[in-house]
Amino acid sequence: MFTEPLAGWRHVTARKQRTANDWAEEIRCLPDECYPRHEKVSLVMDNLNIHAEASLYKQYRPKEAKRLEIHHTPVHGRLAEHC
């Protein structure tokens, strides 16, 4: 699922399997179809094992893969404890 909460937009796709190649194919729609005029697309995602930049570089040319600026959520779901 991709979402841009402030714009009120989301995209959901269900596949039979969940591989790194499947993920890379889904990610490709972001810069190519959803944000074609943007030089960079910031992507915040969880730490699922297939969500790796290496998956993008295996399937696409480096110039295409570099259009995504990837940020992972913290491993345990929070940034810091508040006092």
Dist. CA 72–CA 51, nearest whole Å: 9
CA distances from 76 to 1, 37, 46, 69, 80 (A): 20, 34, 10, 21, 10
Q: How many residues does the chain have?
A: 83
pTM of the complete model:
0.63
Dist. CA 65–CA 79, nearest whole Å: 27
Give the pLDDT confidence of 27-39 residue by residue, as tens digits: 888 888 888 898 8
Q: Which sequence spans correspond to the domains of the chain?
A: 2-72
- Bridge partners (DSSP) of residue 26 are none
Question: What pLDDT was estimated at residue 83?
Answer: 45
> Confidence class of residue 81 from pLDDT cuts 50, 70 and 90?
low
